[in-house]
Structure 1
Amino acid sequence: MSKPQSSDGQHQRLLALLEGRPCPACPDGELERDEYKDNTAAVCDSCGTPQAQVWQPSQ
């Protein structure tokens, strides 16, 4: 079953909202958009902990 096209836009908005926020896992980090295990994610620039990731559907 495929997901609606608009869900990708929602995922990108979620990651944009998280970008620049302080990392809840460490005192020095800030969240940035990056890749985590081949998925687009909001990841701490200091400790590398992902806070959200978007899974891409298998083709």
Structure 2
Amino acid sequence: MQTYEVGRAVAERYGLSVYDSMIVAAALIAGCNTLWTEDMQDGHVVEGRLRIVNPFA
């Protein structure tokens, strides 16, 4: 339930798709600092603590 609530808030605040926001929410809840993905904006920082990094950039 927490992932869903955080994910919906992330989707609204950052304009991410529901699926991407659930991935970001899970990373935030897990305490990650970096999320490696090629599907989101490289260098974007979510909630001031989770950096999105494209490994192919």
User: TM-score normalised by the shorter chain: which range applies?
Assistant: 0.3 to 0.5
Greater relative CO, 1 or 2 (CA 8 Å, sep 6+) = 2
Q: Is the radius of gyration larger for structure 1 or structure 2?
A: 1
Higher relative helix content: 2
Q: TM-score, normalised by structure 2?
A: 0.32
Higher relative strand content: 1
Q: TM-score, normalised by structure 1?
A: 0.31
